[in-house]
Structure 1
Amino acid sequence: MKAVPKVNTDGLYIEDTLVDDAFSGVVPFYSYMEQGITDVLSTTESVTQPEDEPSNEPESNISGYIIGIPVTPGLFRPRFDLAAWNAYETALTAAHDSFQQALSGWHALPEEQRGDMPVLESPPQPTLWIEGLTPEEIEELTRPQPIEPNEMDRLGSEMVTRELEALELRQQNEAQGAQIVGLELRLLSLENS
């Protein structure tokens, strides 16, 4: 088993899901609608009914896709480009059909006229995982957020403020004490004279 990404119908990453190790490609997953209740995943048995009778099976809707291609690291909100995937699948099919035609033509030739066997040339796989956020949204996410102080920081700040106030009061006391001593000395010198 391996974990592969699961995306919604817009290609935006939802979560990882476990699949068989051999899984690759892109496959849809469905939600079922029954009597107005949506997004209830269930399995139903196939029952053959006459064509003129309405079916009691729930209606199925594509809810998203399971992607067998790993998510490109470094994306803020990964989005799978479903249009690019479909174009790539179409190009692969066209390349395979062209190879089959060339191979059939090669086999139809006599051995002495064949030359080199045709080679399947697959188109390069495009970048399928892209950023799902706009540059403005990324800037908003990456902007440094103001840090709100916790209670310990707040108490520490208050304690430093109180210690500074106490130091200022001590300095004022010393200055006033020195003035008082100076006045007492002047008074003693006046009394002695």
Structure 2
Amino acid sequence: MKAAPKVNTEGLYLEDALVDDTFSGIVPFYSDSKPGKPEVVLTIIGDGTQSDDESPREYETNITGYIVGIPVTPGLFRPCFDLAAWSAYRAAVSEAQDSYQEAFSKWQALSEVGRGEMPALESIPMPDFWIEGLTSEEIEELTRSQPAEPNELDRIGAEMVTRELEALELRQQNEAQGAQNVGLELRLLSLENN
């Protein structure tokens, strides 16, 4: 099993789905237009009696999206599968196969002497189907640097610096008051000695 991207009908990536390892290509997935339990339908038989029809009534199914067997190109912000490019690629491959089959049939119809080289199937290079689903403005908005939120360690460090500055200011005030007290005591001593 491997993961394959699921896309909506516009090609925008939805989620991954588990698929067989050999899965490739693109297949639709559907949703019922009327979800719920199947109904038991009563039908009138030709003689006027009723019969319980146990077969469930079928509902119209709608394509909800596609499971894509081509891996998502890394580096896309919002991957989008280009469904139009896929259709064009499939048409080109089919045209190349039809052209080869026609050339091969003509080649086979010729005698062995006049055949020449057997025709070769033209290889159509597979383009990159995954494109960016966001506009350049949306990408710029996503990638614009946001102001960094301080983490717990930064916040605690800033608080410690603030507390140390407060403590230093208190020490300086203490020293100034101590010097004032010494000055007052010296004045008192000098007054007592006089």
**Aligned AA for 2:11?**
G
Partner of 1:128: 129
**2:7 paired residue number:** 7
One-letter amino acid of the structure 2 residue matched with residue 131 of structure 1: E
The corresponding residue for 2:18 is 18
Is the aligned partner of 1:175 residue 2:176? yes
TM-score scaled by structure 2?
A: 0.79
After TM superposition, the structure 1 = structure 2 runs for residues 146-161 of structure 1, keeping only pairs within 5 Å, are: 146-149=147-150, 154=155, 157-161=158-162
Give the RMSD, CA atoms, in angstroms.
2.6
Matches within 5 A, 1:12-161: 12-34=12-34, 37=35, 56-149=57-150, 154=155, 157-161=158-162
CA distance in 1, matches of 2:99, 2:77: 39
Tell me which amino acid in the other structure corresponds to 1:128: F
Instruction: Please state how far the C-alpha of 1:18 moved relative to its aligned partner.
Output: 1.1
Q: CA deviation at 1:180?
A: 3.2
- How many residues matched? 177
Deviations 1:128-159 (A, max 9, x none): 01111111111222222234446675555444
Once residues 98 and 143 of structure 2 are traced to their aligned partners in structure 1, the CA distance between those partners, rounded to angstroms, is: 47
The amino acid of 2:72's aligned partner reads V
Q: Tell me what 1:52 maps to.
A: none
- The offset of 1:166, in angstroms, is 2.1
Match of 1:47 in 2: none
> How far apart are the structure 2 equivalents of 1:184 and 1:112?
132
Identity of aligned residues (%): 72
Measured in 2, the distance between the counterparts of 1:13 and 1:43 equals 31
Moved over 3 A (4+): 147-160, 182-193
Cα drift, residue 22 of structure 1: 1.7
Alpha-carbon separation, structure 2, partners of 1:170 and 1:15: 63
Comparing 112-121 and 125-134, the one that deviates more: 112-121
Deviates more, 1:113-122 or 1:62-71: 113-122
SS of 1:93's equivalent? helix
- Whole-angstrom CA distance in 2 between matches of 1:184 and 1:81: 91
Distance 1:182 1:116 in 2: 117
> CA separation in 2, counterparts of 1:159 and 1:113?
95
* Structure 2 residues not aligned, in runs of 5+: 40-55
**Match for 1:85: what amino acid?**
W
